[in-house]
Amino acid sequence: MNSAAQPTTPFAETMAETDPARIHRLFEGQQPKALALRGSSAAERIAKLKRLRELMFEKREAIHAACHADFAKPAAEVEVTEILPVVAEAHHAMRKLKSWMKPKRKRPTLLMFGTSAEVRTEPRGVCLIISPWNYPINLSLGPLVSAIAAGNTVILKPSEMTPHCAAFLQEFLAELFDEDEVAVVQGAVQTSQTLLELPFDHIFFTGSPAVGRIVMGAAAKHLTSVTLELGGKSPVIVDRSAKIKTAATTLIWGKFANNGQTCIAPDYVYVHEAIRDEFIAACREALDALYGPREKLAENDDYCRIVNAKHYERVRGLLDDAIERGAKLPVGTVPANDDRFLAPTLLTQVNEDARIMEEEIFGPLLPILSYTDIEQPIASINARPKPLALYVYATDNDVIETVLSRTSAGGSCVNQAMMHFLHGQLPFGGVNNSGIGNSHGHYGYMAFSHERSVLRDRFSLAFLFRPPYNAFTRWFIRFAVRWLS
């Protein structure tokens, strides 16, 4: 779940950047702490995670207030999308951390007979987390849970576009950690540039592919490892065998939660021509059921707003361009104001050349296209960069397997949308343009860990591979190459 385009706001333009000298002091101050944390026990790390989880519960009202101040997010949605993922992540790590930290014994190969081996996980060291604005609490603290579980120190830079949430995070984490272990820095581009000049041991970035390339380029200068959680246009295929009401209900929720500002939100839908009209009708019913009468939607507290005016104008521009190119609106209206309210909007007859079919939407607009042959949507999906998520609705298993086996995506759901993000046992991440590496659960722990191999020699035959090469050693080497490799 990440931000798409990264527009600035009036607040961001006047926001004080963190003094570069302070950033350098924080980075240098975390170096000795990172070395000390290499020897931290599972019990010590679990205690930190427990305090974080408990403080989340204590501060839930403050989290509600910060999210509402930044983009009018309803409290129930804050609970589901900001608080629940973090406390679930912490709880899962607390339960599993002892086993994650335990060295894993590895059986010797024939060639390594006479040795013993294991793989240990060790902290990467001083880590940088750059988090986005669309889920500012979740996507800051979720990676932090993994970093703390793995025994690292962290400098966190939250997004300047959600200033109330950023201020909350600074106060919240100062209550839990000293700055030599976890520090928060505020700012926009200048602060990010200063951070990216430093030789961190790992960078965890959530944001757009365009900015992800900048982060990866900066990391390459120091050979710093990265986890990049990016985005892309997440497609949906609704087969004629799908349960139409289920498909409409889950897609409408997945698309319009957080006002569509979700990186794994359904971005465009291919629906089989035979059920197209029925599907659109079901979407109308689902919208009414979730958000009430459309004419009163602007007054509905369960529907949040676009994060800022500039992002609103970007999404509005996508809508205007699509309409100019012939798109129709079976549901939705062209907004007549700029108060950051955009109604849930379905579009049909969308031109494939429209900007809305090229850019990640990141707003409450859902293009619906029809198809008659499954080869059509598969070809279209494969012609675009690999998405962060792909969804398929069908009861025909042949169709499901065809779609899954002939497309590529960071993750997928069958007859559901977005729920794979909450599954603690699944890796969450992208592929190529939509991301590098994974997070959540054990995968998040491993993202912030180095796997160190350790081999112990007991009575191996390694001496037979060394000079002087006599007749016997030459025979043994040929034997090993043929039979032991």
Residue 361 three-state SS: coil
DSSP-based helix, strand, coil % in the chain, nearest 5:
50, 15, 35
Instruction: Give CA–CA dist 305/295, Å, rounded.
Output: 16
Which residues is 393 bridged to in the sheet? 238
Q: Is 263 a catalytic residue?
A: yes
Determine the Cα–Cα distance for residues 141 and 17; give it in Å rounded to an integer: 22
Query: Is 67 assigned a catalytic role?
Result: no
Host H or E run for residue 388: none
For the record, the structure tokens of 436 come out as: 């590098």
Residue type, 161: M
Residue 328 tokens, joined:
């129709």
The active-site residue out of 67, 127, 165, 263 is: 263
Mapped onto helix, strand or coil, the DSSP state of residue 475 is helix
CB atoms within 10 A of CB 303: 24
How far is residue 215's CA from residue 217's CA, in Å, rounded to a whole number?
A: 5
Residue 141: its H or E element:
helix 138-149
CA distances to 196, 197, 435 from 221, in Å: 10, 9, 19
The single residue of 82, 179, 229, 360 carrying the catalytic annotation is: 229
Q: How many angstroms from the chain centroid is the CA of residue 169?
A: 19
Torsion of CA 208, 210, 214, 215, to 10 degrees: 20
Which letter, b or e, does each residue of 172-202 get, where b requires 16 or more Cβ atoms within 10 Å of its Cβ? bbeeebebbbbbbbbbbeebbebbbebebbb
Q: What is the rounded CA–CA span in Å between residue 200 and residue 181?
A: 14
Q: How far is CA 218 from CA 131, 223, 224, 362, 440, in A?
A: 17, 9, 9, 26, 25
Tokens describing residue 34 = 């990172």
Contact 30, 204 (CB under 8 A): no
Q: Is the peptide bond before 468 cis (omega within 30 degrees of 0)?
A: yes
Q: Rounded distance, CA 231 to CA 262, Å?
A: 9
**What is the rounded distance in angstroms from the CA atom of residue 236 to the CA atom of residue 283?**
14
> Across the strands, what pairs with 328?
348
Any idea which residues carry the catalytic annotation? Answer: 229, 263
